[in-house]
Structure 1
Amino acid sequence: MYERRRRREAFFERLLNYFTELGEEIDEFVESMFEAMRFSRPDWDMDSCCIEPLVHVESTPDSIIVTADLPYVEGKENIKLNATEDTLEILAEMKKDVRFEKWGTIQREATFRKYHKIIRLPEKVVPEEARATFKNGVLQVILPKKVKKTPIKIE
């Protein structure tokens, strides 16, 4: 009786280990898929003549730094930025149209006049303290991270 019980417990322990390892492998696979999608090509919306700019999001100990490539944008007055605690929206007007002819598997013609992208930030930020610079077609936005500490008053 004791031997049968021990074999049964060993079976369930092996089964539990198998499902635990399988779950970890699935988590790693899903995480790698999302990581691969983060660096995908720019997207576009032909109806609104918008294209997504290439962006890089970097996390430092104090802030989130978003760098966006905005060729054909002439000055900072042509850029609008909107931020919340967890997103940054970039809207920019190009000084000249960008036109694609005969591209992709379907031969179409497209003209783009604006950039538009909403970026989900990896951590919560304080949007009111954000600052941005624009130089030579490169936009850099620095968003301070929201402090998770709350001071405790001693009575």
Structure 2
Amino acid sequence: MSVRDLIPWGRSTNAPVPSRMRDEPMSPFLTLHREMNRLFDDVFSGIGGVPALGGRSLGWPSVEMVETDQGLRVSAELPGLDEKDVELTIDDGVLTLRGEKRAEMTDRERGYSERSYGRFERVIALPFAVEEDKAEASFQNGVLSVALPRSAKAPEQGRRIAINGAKPQDTAH
């Protein structure tokens, strides 16, 4: 086995691992090493990023937010789901999308699947105040679209807090 075989080729990209040299015998330990690297890369894809489980990142579903003069439009891709599988709530400036994708195969059936199933939840802090009672949502072709109208009331302004230096008499205990 050469040192070249231990270098994690393509681990940070989707490039395939180079094949072995023609004259080198296939080592079961090298195969195990490569498969373990692939397994860890699948679980911890992207250093500093969100870990992935089963090919789906923890930030699933994928969301797109567009700010307009009227408010905010949020779209979420939910392939294979219907509106009955999804719950959408808004409370105190936070939009929550949750649901469950159920397996189509039963326990009695055997087969191969790369699809992922289970419960999911996505919490989105809204960038400005919206009129929660006027929010509308629609679901079509696996895409959830939410319209959140901008609130007419003035946005809450933060208060700046002055930072004072310590006074000499305050430092003695």
TM range (shorter): 0.5 to 0.7
Corresponding residue for residue 117 of structure 2: 112
Aligned residues: 97
Bigger strand share: 1
Measure how far apart 1:115 and its partner are. Answer: 2.5
Given the alignment, which residue of 63, 68, 72 partners 2:71?
Answer: 63
Kindly provide the CA deviation profile for residues 28-56 of structure 1, in whole angstroms up to 9, marking residues without a partner as x.
xxxxxxxxxxxx9766689xxx7621001
Corresponding residue for residue 95 of structure 2: 88
Bigger helix share: 1
Letter in 2 for 1:76: E
Corresponding residue for residue 80 of structure 2: 72
Given the alignment, which residue of 130, 142, 145 partners 2:147?
Answer: 142
Kindly provide the CA deviation profile for residues 50-107 of structure 1, in whole angstroms up to 9, marking residues without a partner as x.
762100111111111100001121x21111111024110001221437x66xxxxxxx
Q: What TM-score results when the alignment is normalised by the length of structure 1? A: 0.52
Percent identity over the alignment is 26
Measured in 1, the distance between the counterparts of 2:121 and 2:92 equals: 19
Runs of 4+ deviating beyond 2 Å? 40-46
Q: Which runs of 5+ in 2 are unaligned?
A: 1-47, 105-112, 155-173
Decide whether aligned partners of structure 1 residues 125 and 93 sit closer, same or farther in structure 2, where only a CA change above 3 A counts: same
Contact in 2 for aligned 1:85/1:125 (Cα 8 Å): no
Corresponding residue for residue 121 of structure 1: 126
* C-alpha RMSD of matched pairs (Å): 3.1
Measure how far apart 1:140 and its partner are. Answer: 0.3
Kindly provide the CA deviation profile for residues 89-129 of structure 1, in whole angstroms up to 9, marking residues without a partner as x.
001221437x66xxxxxxxxx95312310001111111111
Contact in 1 for aligned 2:100/2:117 (Cα 8 Å): no
Letter in 1 for 2:101: M
Structure with more contact order per residue of length (Cα contacts < 8 Å, sep ≥ 6): 1
Contact in 2 for aligned 1:51/1:114 (Cα 8 Å): no
Measured in 2, the distance between the counterparts of 1:88 and 1:45 equals: 24
Measured in 2, the distance between the counterparts of 1:56 and 1:126 equals: 20
Measured in 2, the distance between the counterparts of 1:115 and 1:95 equals: 11
**TM alignment of 1:11-22, pairs within 5 A:** none
Measured in 2, the distance between the counterparts of 1:86 and 1:122 equals: 8
Letter in 2 for 1:59: E
